Amino acid sequence: MSRRREKDGNPAARTLNRLTGKHRRTLALSAWASVAGSLILIAELGCVALAIAEILRGASVSAAFTYLAAFLILALARIVAESISTTLAANATEDVKLQTREELTRAIAELSPADRARPLAGETANLLTNHVDALGPYLTRYRSARLRATVIPLVVLVITAYFSWVAAAVLLVTGPLIPIFMALIGAEARSASERQLQQIGTMNAGLLDRLQGLTTLRLFDAIPRAAESLRREGDEIRKRTMAVLRIAFISSAVLELFSALGVAFAAVYVGFSLLGLFQFGAYGGLSLAGGLFVLMIAPEYFRPLRDFAAAYHDQASAFAACNEIEKLLDPSRRRLPARNAEIVPLARLELDKVSVVLDGTTILPAFSLRVERGERIALVGPSGSGKSMLLALLAGLVTLADGKMLVNGREDVVCAIAWLGQKPAFVQGSVAANLAMYRGLTNRDGFDAAIRIAHAEGVIAKLERGYDEVLRENAANLSGGEAQRLAIARLALSNADLILADEPTEHLDAETAEAVIDGLFASADGRTLIVATHDPRVVARADRVIDVRRLPGDNLGAAA
């Protein structure tokens, strides 16, 4: 019943069950193999008790050796059972972790840039590493420990009651106290684990952000402040980690106390019974073999409970990780529309009574727009009026709330699109690799022509190795204007029919901006260009100017 409540009422538990879906039988088999190993251990202890009793009674040594031989056979069987359990759990765990990372990677790739809650790079790295790794101990230890804690104490209790109802009563009274106290402590343990994982993710994201902006921090002499901020965040993580450990130590002390009391009371009763001081609680008297057996299996009554209590913190960590994983896998997150349509040459682009609604807020009310091939359109309007959202809509980065987007009059096809933002993206690699990103390998003659179109000859000339020069991530070793001109050269090399540009001259000096504008319009020759801008120089070069605030009106496309 508790397991069913866990599945139905706990989102983290539902996420875990979904992630372990196809491996559920394997994990269950692993848990039962673990239970079999524990049952075999009880049988081993029975053989030891009988062997000792035979020797103490002065019986033949051969009788004792018979029990010891049985002990060795059972020990071998237990090793096999535990090996099977460990191997099955380890293999299933690795598969679950791999599957989870693949699912998270797909989800991250599908997240729309318009999702304001999109995780930062540091948070994503932490999610794919620490959070996924937190599932491992739960799968390898907790599930088996939970099953053993359900089965083994009952078996030990029944066996003990067979020899002495008093010893069984002692175990029955002290045993349930452990899960009761663990449940009380466990709620705080889960909360502490969630706070710790969230703080680690926040610090990772902040650390990566500071590393990426190290040049800016140095220019503004802000490195000491950034270092102090990181020190405070690290100290906060240390405190949260110690809080988790403190709870773990408290829970360990509780379970050790009650298990020690239970074994001690059972040992006192058995000892006095064997000495003849107690004449009650056993059926016909407690024999030496029976008393030894009860003493040996008493710790095995508490061992599964202790293992389960220790593994409970693994469950708390796994649930905390699943809460973060589920946030990213949540189907309500803003994702890119499915794009498996045929790509066709663009002749005409139409938006028919389309609208964009995000989080219940209408960003772009219903409007219609028609763009012919070769047009150069400037989108104008104050910041926040929806220029970038309209570009995102044309690029397929957001889903239409209503209406249709047609390419050549068809809804089932798309055209090739290239994007140019304020800060163009570059991967770490050679200039040649980044220039050829849209079309694969090309010859150097093609590079030279594209560089001339983008007015980027000076950028290549200053690089020691030319096209073989290695660019750091996002061209961190180039200025903003140089990176922008290389991005325009990449556009020129692309086969895109539609070029979308978002504020390409923002933060550039006048001379560099002129070069970027010339290169952008030259690279768009024979293709369709739609650019969101505040720059009057860009507006002056456009064939048509659209004020996004007037999209729903009758004068759509009129000069602004």
Say what the pLDDT of residue 80 is. 95
CB 364 within 8 A of CB 551: yes
Those residues whose C-beta lies under 8 Å from the C-beta of residue 434, and which sit 6 or more positions away, are: 426, 427, 471, 475, 486, 490
Alpha-carbon span 550 to 558, nearest angstrom: 9
Those residues whose C-beta lies under 8 Å from the C-beta of residue 243, and which sit 6 or more positions away, are: 192, 195, 196
Nearest CA among 555, 409, 313 for reference residue 546? 555
Say what the pLDDT of residue 445 is. 67
Say what the pLDDT of residue 430 is. 86
Nearest CA among 483, 489, 405 for reference residue 447? 489
Nearest CA among 98, 104, 88, 1 for reference residue 36? 88
Q: Each residue of 134-167: pLDDT tens digit?
A: 888 888 888 888 899 889 989 988 988 888 888 8
Say what the pLDDT of residue 76 is. 94
The full DSSP string for 187-222 is HHHHHHHHHHHHHHHHHHHHHHHHHHTHHHHHHTT-
Alpha-carbon span 547 to 241, nearest angstrom: 54
Say what the pLDDT of residue 39 is. 93
Alpha-carbon span 8 to 3, nearest angstrom: 9
Alpha-carbon span 152 to 31, nearest angstrom: 12
Q: What is the pTM of this model?
A: 0.63
Task: Report residue 335: phi and psi, to 5°.
Answer: -120, 165
Rg (CA), the chain: 35
Q: Each residue of 519-531: pLDDT tens digit?
A: 889 888 889 999 9
The domains of the chain, with CATH numbers, are 2-329 (1.20.1560.10), 342-550 (3.40.50.300)
CB 333 within 8 A of CB 115: yes
Per-residue pLDDT in tens (0 to 9) along the chain, 560 residues: 344 444 445 777 788 888 888 888 899 999 999 999 999 999 998 888 888 887 777 666 677 788 888 999 999 999 999 999 999 999 999 999 998 888 888 888 777 776 666 776 667 777 788 888 888 888 888 888 889 988 998 998 898 888 888 888 888 877 776 666 665 565 556 666 666 666 666 666 667 667 767 777 777 777 788 788 878 877 877 777 777 777 667 666 776 777 777 777 777 777 777 777 766 666 666 777 888 888 888 888 888 877 887 777 788 778 878 888 887 777 767 676 666 678 888 888 988 888 887 767 777 888 888 899 989 999 998 887 788 888 888 888 777 778 888 888 888 788 888 888 888 888 888 888 888 887 665 566 678 888 888 888 888 888 888 888 888 877 778 888 888 888 888 888 888 889 999 888 887 888 888 888 888 898 888 899 999 998 899 899 898 998 888 775 433 343 33
Say what the pLDDT of residue 351 is. 87
Say what the pLDDT of residue 275 is. 72
Alpha-carbon span 292 to 274, nearest angstrom: 10
